[in-house]
């Protein structure tokens, strides 16, 4: 299965990607997680990306493409992957398609998780993220057993700096301008399925699985993917 999860910030992409990754035994590849790891490591790429992330803008394509390409080359992604937060604009989508095509692969499906803006703000304002394993919680909707501590790994939960309300509004604007056009893009390619993101996590997961229909089987091993400019 080679799947892209699209949707506004806070729609539940990460939550669903983690559930599906566990179900299928293929990796979740989240561009936001990769970027935050680069920032934490204080790598050159991380230092370049940090300012964009802080104000809710997209990080330049070349930086994100580099991280994603490196991640897709890893062995565990050969049997399939779930992309979460990437691609974020048409340029990234085109580079991904070309990179896959070069090794004889293509996406199986793009699922857009739809959520109204008011819900987006509610979900993001209560989001807590594990420092160690990037698992997601919500102070009201998905609280951990012990406040501030990850159920899965015991790591500390923190609130992302870009989850402050003002930055969230900016991220929604960026989604509308840069990312929403991907719905038409993938619609034209016949790859898109829209799924209602309102409701419990398990209900949304069922809708995604229904939208994938007969597709929900991890694909066979393939070659590594490169996203270098041609």
| Positions marked active-site | 13, 88, 127, 160, 171
194 binds ligand ADP (CB under 6 A): no
125 binds ligand ADP (CB under 6 A): no
* Dihedral sign for Cα atoms in the order 213, 14, 35, 78: negative
Q: How many residues bind ligand ADP (CB under 6 A)?
A: 37
Q: Which is nearer to ligand ADP, 137 or 186 (CB)?
A: 137
Q: Which is nearer to ligand ADP, 78 or 89 (CB)?
A: 89
46 binds ligand ADP (CB under 6 A): no
Kindly give, in sequence order, each residue whose CB lies less than 8 Å from that of residue 25, ignoring residues fewer than 6 positions away: 79, 218
58 binds ligand ADP (CB under 6 A): yes
152 binds Zn ion (CB under 5 A): yes
Bridge partners, residue 26, by sequence? none
Kindly give, in sequence order, each residue whose CB lies less than 8 Å from that of residue 199, ignoring residues fewer than 6 positions away: none
Applying CB under 6 A, which of residues 53, 100, 191, 225 lies at the interface with ligand ADP? Answer: 53
In angstroms, the Cα distances linking 161 to 1, 44, 58, 139 are: 33, 20, 15, 16
Spell 160-183 as b/e; 16+ CB within 10 A means b.
Answer: eebbeeebbebbbebbeebbbebb
Closest CA to 6 of 23, 31, 33, 24: 31
For the CB of residue 146, give the shortest distance to Zn ion in the complex, in Å: 12
Q: Which is nearer to Zn ion, 155 or 218 (CB)?
A: 155
Applying CB under 6 A, which of residues 6, 24, 28, 31 lies at the interface with ligand ADP? Answer: 31
Applying CB under 5 A, which of residues 155, 187, 218, 222 lies at the interface with Zn ion? Answer: 155
64 binds ligand ADP (CB under 6 A): yes
Cα angle value 106/173/123 (rounded, 5°): 85
Applying CB under 5 A, which of residues 45, 64, 83, 130 lies at the interface with Zn ion? Answer: 130
137: phi then psi, degrees, rounded to nearest 5: -130, 170
Residues lying near ligand ADP in the complex (CB under 6 A) are found at 7, 9-15, 31-32, 35, 52-53, 56-59, 64, 85-86, 88, 92, 123-124, 126-127, 136-138, 141-142, 162, 171, 199-201, 204
């Amino acid at each position: 299965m080679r799947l892209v999860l699209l949707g506004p910030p806070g729609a539940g992409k990460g939550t669903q990607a983690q559930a599906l990754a566990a179900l299928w035994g293929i990796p979740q590849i989240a561009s936001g997680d990769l970027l935050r790891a680069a920032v934490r490591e204080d790598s050159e790429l991380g230092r370049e990306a940090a300012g964009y992330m802080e104000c809710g803008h997209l990080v330049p394509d070349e930086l994100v493409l580099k991280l994603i390409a490196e991640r897709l080359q890893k062995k565990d992604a050969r049997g399939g992957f779930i992309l979460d937060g990437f691609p974020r604009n048409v340029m990234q989508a085109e580079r991904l398609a070309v990179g896959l095509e070069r090794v004889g692969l293509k996406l199986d499906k793009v699922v857009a998780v739809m959520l109204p803006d008011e819900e987006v703000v509610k979900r993001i304002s209560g989001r807590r993220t594990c420092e160690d394993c990037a698992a997601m919680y919500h102070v009201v909707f998905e609280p951990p057993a012990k406040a501030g501590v990850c159920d899965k790994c015991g790591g500390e939960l923190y609130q992302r700096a870009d989850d402050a309300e003002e930055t969230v509004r900016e991220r929604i604007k960026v989604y509308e301008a840069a990312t929403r056009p991907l719905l038409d893009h993938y619609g034209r390619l016949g790859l898109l399925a829209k799924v209602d993101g309102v409701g419990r996590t398990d209900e949304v997961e069922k809708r995604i699985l229904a939208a994938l229909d007969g597709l929900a089987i991890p694909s066979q091993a393939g070659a590594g993917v490169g996203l270098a400019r041609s």
